[in-house]
Structure formats: structure tokens, C-alpha cells
Structure 1
Amino acid sequence: QLRPRYAARLEVYVVEDSFPESEVGILYPDVKIMQLRQAKIADIPPGTSGATALTPPLSLPIFQPVPVRLSNVEIRDTAQNVLVTCIEVLSPVNKREPGLTNYRQK
């Protein structure tokens, strides 16, 4: 029982998760962007056939940070609003870098 001497306050903040694909159940498809250009007749050397070997396109995954809500529960003294303790609710975001370093520094 907290009241009447103490009060609990939920503090919610948003961080960006740069590697959400490492979480179980969260998968993002790869994206491939290709641009084809047509060869001009002048570009084709004489004596060559119409078949040309092309270098395969470079395919890179695109990682976009995903906003993730994290929360703390602050316990404060009601008389002077002094912070007594803070309970951080753990999330996969603060169990690995870069959030892990911030979590450990607290």
C-alpha cells in the first residue's frame, strides 16, 4: 500500500529499436530496388550477339528503426514530491546495444 505517504507515477518514453528483426516473431521482408536501362544501338560493339551477361543487381537489406515504448514506475513522496525509487520495466530494447549501455549507466 502506497497511499497516503507515497504515490506511483508511470513515465513512458519512446526509443528507436535499430534491430527489431532480432526479436522472435518480428520479420521484415528484404527490399530490392532495380533500375534497368536499355542499351542504345550505338553502345553495342559490332560483331556481338544480342545476348549480354549482366552483373546481378546488388541487394541490400534496409533497416529502419522502429519506435518502441518503454516505461518506468516512479515512487514519490507525496509531501515533497521527492523520488524514492524508480522501477524500470525491462524490454528487449534495453537488453542489447545500444540500449544496454544506457540501462547499465543508470
Structure 2
Amino acid sequence: MASPFPGMNPYLEHPELWAGVHLLLIAALTDSLAPQLRPKYRVAVEVRIYEITREKSLLVGIPDVTIKRQTSVTNPTISNVAVAVAAPPVQPLTVTIPAPETVKQGYLEVREVATGEVVTAIEILSPVNKRSGEGRKAYKIKRELVFKSATHLVEIDLLRAGKSMPILDNNIESNYRILVSRSNRRPLADLYAFNLQNAIPSFPLPLQEGDPEPLVDLQSLLNGLYDRAGYDLVIDYSQEPLPALSEADTAWADGVLREQVLR
């Protein structure tokens, strides 16, 4: 079944679904680009590992402590003699500690076969990149290093939640973004800023000068993985998406879903 939305499906942003969508989108990009780039280039799938501490506020539904209630026993014998009663033995409490968590995030590199040089880095942002913490700091460092190098950067942000990656034109607002930063044009870059109602724009993949650049049709790739992975079987469109939509987007999405008899 096809996705009911013309562009990004906001239900795919759900925290329980996004990790799988992220992996499938990386695989779809690899399958699409690799045949078009051979034999001069290859697409390498890389993995970045973050060690983060899960904040207490993120532990939804997990109690801070569990206290076992002691049962009292009443002695029916009445006595005027005061007897010292020993306190019950202390029982341990179950608590939650800020244990570090390992987060693995995949990304793509287009490499020249002859030299192994990284020509283009392709990043699909995850929540760890868009919220404050070590994951965002680490990615920003990598991003700045790419900006100082001869490597092109394609940065795909299909998540409404969190803080967008910095650009100098901070007044640009949109639900989603695709940044195409060519090394020979910096500090200028192409920003595809689009919203829930828009189809995901296609963009050329930057390569070495003079080489034909394949057009990346991210919308078709996302529609294909939605169908193959059977997301229509697990998404309940009678519920609101998470993260929540704005009031205007909620009304628009409701109309789209009702038109397709999904509500």
C-alpha cells in the first residue's frame, strides 16, 4: 500500500519507527546510487557510534524507586511490660541510574575507487543529532571538518522535532530540510526547505567537477520502502502522529486521511 501523504509521512517520525526508517533509507540510497556511480565511484556504508547518557526525563513510565510495603503483625496478648521491638531489616530499593547507552548511526560516503578519496558525505539526521547532548556535539564537529575539506556534504533532515543544524540564514523556517553543500561553492550552499504538504524535492548528487551528477529522488525511495516494509500494517492513522503536528497541519493531515478513508 502506498503512503497516503504526498511528501514526508509524519507517522514515520515516531521514535519506535524512525530507527528502522533510517536504516532502510540508507539501504535504498545505496541501491539507487551505486549502479549510477560505477565504475569510478563506490558507495560506502559507514557507522558512527555515540556513547550517551539517557536522561532521567526520558525514562517514561519507569519509577524512580520501588518500595516494598512491610506488613504489620498484631500480638493479641495484652501485657503491661514494655518490650523493645527490633525494627524490620532494611530492604534494598530498586532505583534507576544514568547508565551510558551506545547509539549506532549509519551514513554514506561516495568514494573515488582509484584513490579511496571521500568525494561526498551523505547524512540522514537522527534525533541524537537534533537534541542537546554529546551526539549533537560530535556531529557538529564532523560537519565543521567536512566544511573545511574538499568533500561535498548532503544533509537530509526529515524530522520535525529537535533543533535544526545551524546555517547563517536563521530566519528560514520549514518542517524538513535538505542541505547540499558543494566544497567549491562554500560558504554558499543549496537549501531545500519544505513542509508537510510538499513533495520531497529531488536534488543532484555533487561529484567531482565534470562528472554527470545523478538526481536523487528521495520521495520515490521513501515511498518504496514504506510499501516494502509494510508500514501501512503497523501505523494507526486514527491516532495523531508523534511528534504532534501544528494546528494547521493537523487539519490538513486529517483531510488527507479522511479523503483516503483511513479515518
Shared fold (TM-score, shorter chain, > 0.5): yes
Matches within 5 A, 1:56-67: 61-67=96-102
Checking the alignment, whether the CA contact within 8 Å between 1:30 and 1:62 is kept in structure 2 is no
Q: Please state if 1:18 is matched with 2:53.
A: yes
Q: TM-score, normalised by structure 1?
A: 0.60
Checking the alignment, whether the CA contact within 8 Å between 1:21 and 1:28 is kept in structure 2 is no
Q: Please state if 1:90 is matched with 2:125.
A: yes
Task: Determine which structure has more spread, i.e. the larger CA radius of gyration.
Answer: 1
Checking the alignment, whether the CA contact within 8 Å between 1:72 and 1:89 is kept in structure 2 is yes
Shift of the 73–28 alpha-carbon distance from structure 1 to 2, 3 Å rule, reads: farther
The corresponding residue for 1:72 is: 107
Unaligned 5+ residue runs, structure 1?
Answer: 35-46, 53-57
Higher helix share: 2
**Of the candidates 56, 62, 65, which is equivalent to residue 29 of structure 1?**
62
Unaligned 5+ residue runs, structure 2?
Answer: 1-35, 68-81, 88-92, 143-263
Distance, in Å, in 1 between the alignment partners of 2:57 and 2:39 is 44
Letter in 1 for 2:60: L
Deviation at 1:3, TM superposition (A): 0.7
Q: Which structure carries more relative contact order (alpha carbon 8 Å, separation 6+)?
A: 1
Distance, in Å, in 2 between the alignment partners of 1:20 and 1:7 is 39
Aligned sequence identity (%): 35
Distance, in Å, in 2 between the alignment partners of 1:86 and 1:22 is 33
Count of residues in correspondence between the two structures? 87
- CA-atom RMSD in angstroms: 3.3
**Of the candidates 5, 8, 13, which is equivalent to residue 43 of structure 2?**
8
The corresponding residue for 1:43 is: none
Higher strand share: 1
